[in-house]
Every structure is written in C-alpha cells, then in structure tokens.
Structure 1
C-alpha cells in the first residue's frame, strides 16, 4: 500500500503521485464544489458589489490614507510611540512665553517675520524684521535678534543711528518665576512706522522666501488695508534698504477702489496678487496695478490663497461658510454664472430657508467640489507637505482639516475641539514641521493641538486680549533650535506682542 502524502494522491494506473488541485478523478463531488461549478456555468448577471468593509465603514480607506500621509505609516500601533514626537508634544504642552513691552496696539491685525538682505554702508547684511499691523492702521517694522545681541544691531551700527525703543521681554508663562533669557529681542526704530487710513487687513511676502538655490531673499511685501467707507488700499513695502519705503498701489482695470479688502495672497512668482473683497475676488498685477475680478459673489471673500501646486487655482472662503476653488484663467468678461447652496440656513423658518437656500456667484468653479463650514470663514491654509489637505476655521469656533480629494463626501479628516470664537477674525498658525496647530480664542486662551490626532495639547491664558494672529520665525527649520516646534512663534494681540518658546 502506497503511503499517503499530504496534498498529493496516487494514481494506480499511472503509478505516480499527483498534486491535489481540485476534485480527485472519480471521487464524489462535494456540495461546495458542485455549487461552485454551477456558479461558473451560470454567472451572476448582477455587477460586483463593493467589499463589505467599505459598506460597513465608507471612511475606512480615507482614514488609512490620512494615517499614511500624516502619520508616516499605513498602520498605527498605539502601543508604540516615536521618542522625538513625544518630546515635541511635551514641549508643546509646556511652552514658555514672553511679553514685549512697548508693543501694545501694534500687531493685533497682522504679523509676519521676514529674513531680508538689506543694503548698508558695509554691503548686503542679512537681518530679521517683524512687520506688524494693527486694527488702528499702524504699520510697524521691528528689528529682531537672538538673545545676546543687546540691542539688536550689527557691529557697524549704533542705537543713536536709529533711535527708537528697546522692547524689554517679560516672562508671563509659566506663572512662577522664569529665569531663562528670552530667545528673541525686539528693537522698535523711531521712524519705521506708517499710519494707514484704516485697519491693516493683511501682510504677505512677494515671491518665494526660501528658494532652493538660496540666492534671493525677500525684497518686497504686500500690505492691504480694510478701508473706511469701502475704500480699501494696496501698498508695496520695499525691504531692500533702510529706511523702508511704503508705496501706494492704485488699482486699475475693473477692480473698484470703492471695495473693502479683507485679505490677500501673492503668487509664487511674485507678479500677481489675489485680493478678497466684499464683492468677490480679484487678481492684481503688482507692477502695473491693473486688475480684474475672477470671482463675483454675493458673499464677502474673507479668506483666500493660491493653491501651492496649481498656480492657476485660488481657493476662496466666503462669509456664508462656502469654500470654492476658482480657476483664474477664465476671461473676466465670460465669468460663468452659478447657484450654490448656502450653509447658513439652519435654525431658520422654512420660508426663510427657501429664500436663502441658494446664492449666486460668477467664476470658473466646480459646484460639486464646494466645501461648507458652519459659519463665516476666518482663516484657511493648506499643508505644504501634502497640499491636498486644507485646514479651515470659522467664526463659530470650528476648525477642521479636509482632504480635497474627498470633497464630494463632505467629511472632514480631523476636527479640533476646544476653540472659542463667535465673531472675531482670528488667524491660526501651523508649525513648520506641520505637526501642530496653534490658535488664540475669544476667551483669551492660546491653544495647541496635534494636527494628525486632533488632541488638545495645551491651553494657556497669558494675555488679557484675544491673541488674534500667529506666525512662525522667518528661518523656518533653519535655526539651531529647529527641533523645538514652538521656537520663534509670534502672537499678536492688542495688549502686546508675545514670543513662545
């Protein structure tokens, strides 16, 4: 008798072993095999259905994708942790904060730190400056230096050459005495300020600040004002040499000078600017001032930005909560008319809701790709690492992260709880490593969240007014303290300018 071999059978006629790949010849077919054979003979005419796991949870694929792109892996093992990430979370949970004297009412509307090459008597000198705008219309240019340089001047400069005020740092967090020296010092020159007729609404750099060849640095900045009685203004700030020069840029073309300018952004090339107004959004040539509207809307454009990888796309956040992506290549005279639904219809009567259910706009948009926040947009930014991820905040205190490849589902990848807002325009900040989100609130608290998990890491109150603006150092990721995620973080409020370490 031949021995039995697992997975093989012996053919008596051929005197050989054969692998078992199906029913043994001559054996009685099993019920499963017979049913399968019948299935093969009579195929099911119905189309294939999606896998059961997608039916149980349609967001599973989205979560796996988010986990891979934001966490760096497909599968997240909760039992394992990254040492560096844990240290950064500890730093974010226990920040050190300094308040700078003589900076009240300077940076509560807009705040940006730039690294610039300035022409001096000794040649080109690289400096860090902090450009601050206030709701009172004051534009200030502050000199910034590292600790140890008191005051922040080079060896060829003297304070008498500039005059001005040294803004002394005062430790405000932690509340117990902090003997550590402030990492940054601020000097306020006597003549480096401008009084605009209305509130500063935005400060944006013109051109890329960190090109790959490192041969060019910021020389100009775009300044916009909100406008009094609907007369917003555009200014060009020259940073090539001191004293700094601010030049008004008169708007021409079909862009009305009677509009309110809420926000702005500049293209990577530095030749065009997009401005958000109370009647839509327009492109402006920064050299000539000629402009034209690429979006006409019944709702104010409160936030906008150029798409990082698609220079012809500008994303606009409206007062009614809609976020639309507009292709600016369409001719202004041929803007396509659209009607899209309004998000602000909840809590109203049915008759009122019918009237407000739709609103009109003109522009080259895809209505099926419109995102909706619960109320008016306050801030909107995309992640540089993965520019398909869009983070947006609204005036009801909602902050959400969207994957723009999944806009038709209308579901956010992440929601950040704890933010407090009801009517204030508050600008949040994303750290250079894109692991942490920071924002002030109407309760005067400053909060930090983990971007990928949504966990609230810290909430501290060190200001008696709303920290409405957040920005990071101009030398993002290039300082010796680059692993400290909150190093060089500036916060602006009416009370003062703060630095977080």
Structure 2
C-alpha cells in the first residue's frame, strides 16, 4: 500500500486531450543560489547565467520563470512553433532589455562601484587618499554611469530622405564635426551621405543631413575619412561585389555630399575594381601620406592616389581589419585566420611571409585593430568576443576586456584615450564601455530597439561632438534613429 502511494507520488503527470497525450514532469520550485545577484555593470549575460544555474535543465522541456513551471518543447518541422529554444531565449533577452531601459528612464541606474560619487572622490583627493591618475579614472567612471539617452532630431532639405532607412555605419571625422553615414535600403544595397553635427548643444539636439545622397547596389563593408588635400577632405569606401558585379574601392571628395553648387563638387576621384573588399584604411604618416590600403581576399593592396602606383602583399587569409601607424610607415592587418601582422609599406612587393614585421595571433577571426597613441600597444577584437591589448615591443597580451559578444559580425572598437575609455557594440546589440587602464566594464547600455541582425547600433564617442565647442558624449545610430548620451 505504502509502496503504491510512493510510486504514484513520483510518477509523471499526464495531460490528455482529444488529439494527443503528452507528459510533463511535476513542477519543481527553483532554488535561488547564494550569489545570484544583478551585475554591477548591468550586463544582461550575468543575470541570465544566474537564472540558468538556479533551475535545472531538462531535455525536451523549458522552464518559464514567470509561470514557475516547465513546458514541453515540440518539434518545429516546417510549421510555426512558438516553443523553440531560440524564441524562448529571445523573449528572455527582450524582457531583460526592457527592464534595463525602464531603470534608465527612472534614473535608477546604479554606479559600477558602491559609494562612488563626486563628493566622495573630491574629498579623498583632497585628503591625499587618491592619486591624480586614480581620481581621473574614477571621475570618468562616474560620468559614464550617469549618461542619459536623448533622441536627436535630424533635419534634411528633403523630408522624405531623413529617417526612411536603417543606419548601418556612422564614422566621425577627426574633429567630430561631421559623421559619414551608411544606411541599408529596403530593396537592397546602401545609400550614404554626411550629417553635420554643429547643431548639437546642451539645450537642443538637432543635426543637419546634407541633401546629396548616393546609392549603390553593393554592400558597403568599410568606411574611413581620408586627408588628401586637407584634413578629412575625402571619404574612402570599400564595397563588396555581388553576383556578376565586382567589388570596388572609391575615394570621394567630401564636397560631393555637402556642396549645393555642382561646380564645387569637383575634386580628386579615385575608383577601381577589386575582388571582395573587407576593409580599408588611410595613411597619415608624412612619408606616405597619399596612400591608402584595402584588405581583400588573401591579399593587401596599397595604392598611391597621386602616382597610381599599387603594391600587393599576399596573405594566407582574408584581411578583415586595417590601420596605419602615424609615427612609422607601418600598416597593421587583422585576418580571418586570427593572425595580426604589420607591413612596412615602403618595401617592394614580396612573396612568402618574410616581409611581415610583427605577427600576433588570436583564436578567432580578427574584426578590428586599433593602435594607441604612443603606438606601443595595439587593441584587437575577434569573432569569439575577445578584446585584447597587445604590447608590440614584447608581442604579448597585457590586458583582456571581458563581456564583449560576437560570433560572426565585423564589429569595430572605439578607443578614446583622452577619457580613458574603450567602447564596443556587441552582436547582442548592447553597447559596453570599459576603463582602458584596469579593463573593468563600466557600463552596459541596452539598445532602444529590440535586438536583431539589422538593428546592431553604430556608435561614436567623443568629448567634443559637433566641433571644438561641441558637447561630450556618445552618439548612437540604431534603426532609423540617432541618440545622444550626455557625458558631463
């Protein structure tokens, strides 16, 4: 008798209807772990990790935290099935994003470290308890956690142009007075143009989009500003080929987009056909200041705009990221294989690997390389979500910045040494900001829009958005909107 009762108590509960009969395990109360708490930086990955460790995973079932019970996963086949792991994970991430946005709207965002406030920092500095370096770093950390989002109004001579296509890339010039924008077009291809940031101010947030927009049926993989006749006089684009249309590298004058007089749009143009182009970079070194590079499939092409001379350097892998040094005529390249190598662009074409001056290695495809100002250190990110700081003198990794998310996208890094900050947008559509000095994650910013492949934000961080008298902060372009995060 007792055995029968015990057997019935542990047996699975059967749910039957007219069409089928499925089993579900009896409900289990989740146990809250001791260390299950929200991440101090607001990183959603920390809270999801704590939730997964609190509830045991059962094959074929998923646990709904709101209803506090398990549900059975059904095979999707070709019909629509809302109960898939992907849809469940997406809903959980979306709930977390909305929660973080609600916290920011209510201005309840906590600082990255308990007790961090301006009065406490000033008092410790006056008492000699903080060095000038530590004080400066903590002040920047406080500012990052106090940033608030405001939407920017985009003015355009043609009201049908502004806000009709999703932003894909924004790149600021050296003075942060303008941003070059690339937008996806609904029927395929891209359109690109320039937005003037001079209207950004403390009271009003307005920017002007120039009316001269250009369209291409190819995908724009990489963009950078070029200083040919004067600082940021041109824009360099690297376009990927599609079907029978080959790729293209184009150097276009800035006046092509900003001038209303057709006669003023003339300038040096350079455009030539390339194989699949992944990256591009302009050289600011005085010895080779009329050169630019394009990273192609298994090779690097360096072009002199004035003479038309081209040099080709073979590579064993696709070159996805590039940057020139300014103090030396060196070009740094990041490859799909995970290799990072440098080239002295003064040398002649060479075969083999003997011309590679410095070689570093990641375990995954390198998506971005950024030299620090003294050019002794190189920052690199890869498709495994790793961000590493390399010492070029010893060819060793000296720091790692944790929390970045990436699996297959070409996502850039943004280094601001003046503020001591590193910014990167992950494939999960979260913008993360780290301290350059101690590699601590200072802030995780959720996207204002639901996460998707076509809604990964593109950002610019500067202490002078809009020019020398501009406002400091983070500029974020996502979907069809432009946002400003104040940095005071």
User: Which TM-score band applies after superposition, normalised by the shorter structure?
Assistant: 0.5 to 0.7
Contact 2:246 2:275 in 1 (8 A): yes
Deviations 1:149-191 (A, max 9, x none): xxxxxxxxxxxxxxxxxxxxxxxxxxxxxxx745x421223x3
- Please name the residue that 1:133 is paired with: 182
1:398 equivalent in alignment to 2:386 = yes
- Report SS of the residue matched to 2:333: strand
Q: Which of 279, 282, 287 in structure 2 is aligned with 1:263?
A: 279
Q: Give the whole-Å Cα distance in 1 for the aligned partners of 2:250 and 2:333.
A: 22
- Please name the residue that 1:225 is paired with: 239
- Please name the residue that 1:39 is paired with: none
Residue 480 of structure 1, CA deviation:
4.8
Q: Give the whole-Å Cα distance in 2 for the aligned partners of 1:297 and 1:192.
A: 38
- Report SS of the residue matched to 1:146: coil
Q: Are the structure 2 counterparts of residues 468 and 329 from structure 1 closer, same or farther at C-alpha, using a change threshold of 3 Å?
A: farther
The answer for unaligned runs of 5 or more in structure 2 is 1-127, 154-161
1:234 equivalent in alignment to 2:249 = yes
Residue 488 of structure 1, CA deviation:
4.2
- Please name the residue that 2:138 is paired with: 86
Contact 1:490 1:500 in 2 (8 A): yes
Q: Cα RMSD between the aligned structures?
A: 3.0
- The number of equivalent residue pairs is 331
Residue 223 of structure 1, CA deviation:
2.1
Q: Are the structure 2 counterparts of residues 282 and 387 from structure 1 closer, same or farther at C-alpha, using a change threshold of 3 Å?
A: same
Contact 2:167 2:480 in 1 (8 A): no
- Report SS of the residue matched to 1:109: strand
- Please name the residue that 2:216 is paired with: 196
Deviations 1:444-480 (A, max 9, x none): 1111100110111010203334545333459589745
Q: Are the structure 2 counterparts of residues 488 and 105 from structure 1 closer, same or farther at C-alpha, using a change threshold of 3 Å?
A: farther
Residue 286 of structure 1, CA deviation:
1.8
Q: Are the structure 2 counterparts of residues 262 and 429 from structure 1 closer, same or farther at C-alpha, using a change threshold of 3 Å?
A: same
Q: Give the whole-Å Cα distance in 1 for the aligned partners of 2:410 and 2:428.
A: 14
Q: Which of 291, 295, 310 in structure 1 is aligned with 2:310?
A: 291
- Please name the residue that 2:149 is paired with: 97
Contact 1:103 1:497 in 2 (8 A): no
Q: Give the whole-Å Cα distance in 2 for the aligned partners of 1:194 and 1:476.
A: 25
Q: Are the structure 2 counterparts of residues 140 and 418 from structure 1 closer, same or farther at C-alpha, using a change threshold of 3 Å?
A: same
- The equivalences for 1:472-483 within 5 A come to 472-473=461-462, 479-480=468-469
- The equivalences for 1:329-348 within 5 A come to 329-332=346-349, 335-338=350-353
Residue 492 of structure 1, CA deviation:
3.2
Residue 247 of structure 1, CA deviation:
7.4
1:307 equivalent in alignment to 2:359 = no
TM-score for the superposition, normalised by structure 2? 0.61
Q: Are the structure 2 counterparts of residues 248 and 147 from structure 1 closer, same or farther at C-alpha, using a change threshold of 3 Å?
A: closer
1:321 equivalent in alignment to 2:338 = yes
- Please name the residue that 1:440 is paired with: 425
- Report SS of the residue matched to 1:203: strand
Q: Give the whole-Å Cα distance in 2 for the aligned partners of 1:242 and 1:131.
A: 15
Residue 282 of structure 1, CA deviation:
0.9
Residue 376 of structure 1, CA deviation:
0.6
